[in-house]
Structures are given as structure tokens and as C-alpha cells.
């Protein structure tokens, strides 16, 4: 992506792009933002995302702008910037309703629903919007990002106390991932499974439920490390450290969390890193 950005010349390349295809500069900047966030550089990801939006607005092509705004919503969701997700999702909905872009409209509706639930507003309405958005995506024939989108629905079910529904959706997400080979959110799927398992009413000894959740968190960490996905590794380590803290394994939890937290050099205003710092203080 960085090579593409370096080679891109808007005067030469942009005129070659039609109204219904994507500008390579916008694409490279947007995808670079995704990669940077996963690699553990949220500030650099935001910078590339801002550059993508600036370029898309300069080019003034509706499809390119809808593409860019949809990607920005995803980045806000990665960073857990809930209010920004809602605001940008509504911008996507407005533009795509006007232009008739069915796929991006479906994505926008789904992200808006997620934001409503996470903010504690209109939980039932938010979940309904998410389910309608997922159905609308399927109606276009698209499978892109389906495991990621299903994980958001599972998360909202968990936030609403519907744990079994959330676990069922996660099973669907893992199945979709295995069918399509889209693994970029795999670590988070296993982390969420562990989180919901701890909240579930599974019959059996507490230690058995905790062991199953711990296995999910450890698997998430292993996958994230294999993918160099530092941001997802951090989330999984936070979840495991909280579990270990509840089991009076505070020193093990502190060491594990301190190692990954100490790796980061930016993004300390993001929700995940703030949560990690607060937990480290509790474990000190």
C-alpha cells in the first residue's frame, strides 16, 4: 500500500478512473489505514484515513466518497470511537440513499445499529437495524467482511444480555470465515467467544467455564501474534488478564499485560490502550 501511495499521481492516474470504479490513491490510503491499525499504529492509521477522505472529497466522485466513508466508519469501530461511528454511519446512509449504493447503505445501517446498542440507546432498534443490514448485504451477493460484521452483532447481543444468541452468531461468523478464508478478524472472534462464555449460563463447575474461556483467549493471542496484529493481541491479553485477576493470578496477569502495553508507542488515547493502562494500575 505504501508503494502504491508513493507511485500515485492524481493528475495522471485519477482521470483514468471511471465514475463507478475506485481511485487507486484512495484505495491504497484506506487499506493502509486498516493495516496500520492492526499492526498496532492507530495514530498512523487515523492519519492515512484522513488523507483518504481528503483525497476522496477533492475527487468528488460519489462512489469513491461512499467507499471512503464506509472504511472510516470501520476504522472508528476498530478504535471503539462509538459516537464517531454513529455520525459517520449516518453520513454514509445519507449519501448512499441519495446515490443508490446498496452495499454501502447496508453497511452504514449496520454500523449505526451497533453504535445505538453500545451507547445503551434503543437496544432492540439497534439490533434490528444490524440484522436488517446483514440481510441487505446478503441480498447484494457480497460476502466481504461478513465474519467481522457478525462479530459486531454477537457483541451487541452480549451487551444486551442475550448471551446464547451471541454465541450462536459467533459460530456463524467462524463458519463464514472458514468458507471464505477471510481471517483478519479471527483473533477477535475467539476473544469474543471467551468473553460470552464467561457470561453464559453454561451448566457445570465455574472452573470448567473459566477454563474454556481461557482457552479462547489464549487462542486469540496466538492467532494475533501469528498475524502481527498487535491491536487484537492487546484486546485478547486484556481479557485474559482480567480473568487471571479474578483467579488471584495477579502477577502473571500484570507481566503479560505490561509486556504488550509496553510495546505500543502511540494511540494512548484509544479505548483499548486506556483500558489496558487502567487494568495495569489495578494489578500494580
Q: Domain residues for 248?
A: 192-284
pLDDT, position 12: 76
Look up cell 454477537; give the residue.
Answer: 154
Report if residue 61 sits inside a domain. no
Express each pLDDT in 20-70 by its tens digit: 567 889 999 999 999 999 999 999 999 999 999 999 999 888 999 999 999
Report if residue 272 sits inside a domain. yes
Report if residue 161 sits inside a domain. no
Report if residue 208 sits inside a domain. yes
Task: Give the separation between CA 50 and CA 28, rounded to whole angstroms.
Answer: 13
Report if residue 198 sits inside a domain. yes
pTM of the model: 0.94
pLDDT, position 19: 56
Report if residue 79 sits inside a domain. no
Report if residue 118 sits inside a domain. no
pLDDT band at 14 (very low <50, low <70, confident <90, very high): low
Look up cell 494489578; give the residue.
Answer: 283
Number of domains in the chain: 1
CB 136 within 8 A of CB 124: no
Report if residue 207 sits inside a domain. yes
pLDDT band at 81 (very low <50, low <70, confident <90, very high): very high
The percent of residues in the chain predicted with pLDDT above 70, rounded, is 95
Amino acid at each position: 500500500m505504501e508503494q502504491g501511495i508513493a507511485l500515485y499521481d492524481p493528475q495522471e492516474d485519477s482521470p483514468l478512473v471511471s465514475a463507478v470504479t475506485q481511485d487507486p490513491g484512495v484505495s491504497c490510503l484506506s487499506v493502509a489505514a486498516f493495516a496500520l491499525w492492526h499492526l498496532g499504529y492507530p495514530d498512523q492509521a487515523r492519519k492515512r484515513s484522513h488523507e483518504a477522505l481528503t483525497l476522496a472529497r477533492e475527487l468528488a466522485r460519489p462512489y469513491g466518497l461512499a467507499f471512503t466513508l464506509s472504511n472510516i466508519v470501520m476504522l472508528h469501530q476498530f478504535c471503539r470511537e462509538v459516537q464517531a461511528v454513529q455520525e459517520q454511519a449516518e453520513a454514509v446512509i445519507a449519501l448512499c440513499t441519495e446515490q443508490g449504493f446498496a452495499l454501502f447503505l447496508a453497511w452504514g445501517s449496520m454500523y449505526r445499529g451497533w453504535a445505538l446498542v453500545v451507547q445503551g440507546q434503543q437496544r432492540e432498534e439497534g439490533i434490528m437495524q444490524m440484522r436488517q443490514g446483514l440481510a441487505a448485504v446478503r441480498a447484494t451477493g457480497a460476502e466481504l467482511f461478513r465474519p467481522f460484521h457478525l462479530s459486531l452483532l454477537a457483541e451487541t447481543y452480549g451487551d444486551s444480555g442475550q448471551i446464547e444468541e451471541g454465541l450462536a452468531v459467533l459460530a456463524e461468523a467462524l463458519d463464514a470465515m472458514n468458507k471464505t478464508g477471510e481471517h483478519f478478524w479471527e483473533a477477535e472472534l475467539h476473544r469474543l467467544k471467551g468473553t460470552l462464555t464467561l457470561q453464559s449460563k453454561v451448566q457445570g463447575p465455574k472452573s470448567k467455564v473459566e477454563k474454556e474461556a481461557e482457552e479462547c483467549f489464549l487462542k486469540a493471542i496466538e492467532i494475533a501474534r501469528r498475524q502481527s496484529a498487535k491491536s487484537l493481541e492487546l484486546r485478547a491479553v486484556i481479557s485474559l488478564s482480567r480473568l487471571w485477576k479474578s483467579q488471584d493470578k495477579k502477577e502473571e496477569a500484570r507481566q503479560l499485560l505490561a509486556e504488550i502495553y509496553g510495546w505500543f508507542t502511540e494511540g494512548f488515547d484509544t479505548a483499548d490502550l486506556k483500558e489496558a493502562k487502567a487494568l495495569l494500575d489495578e494489578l500494580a
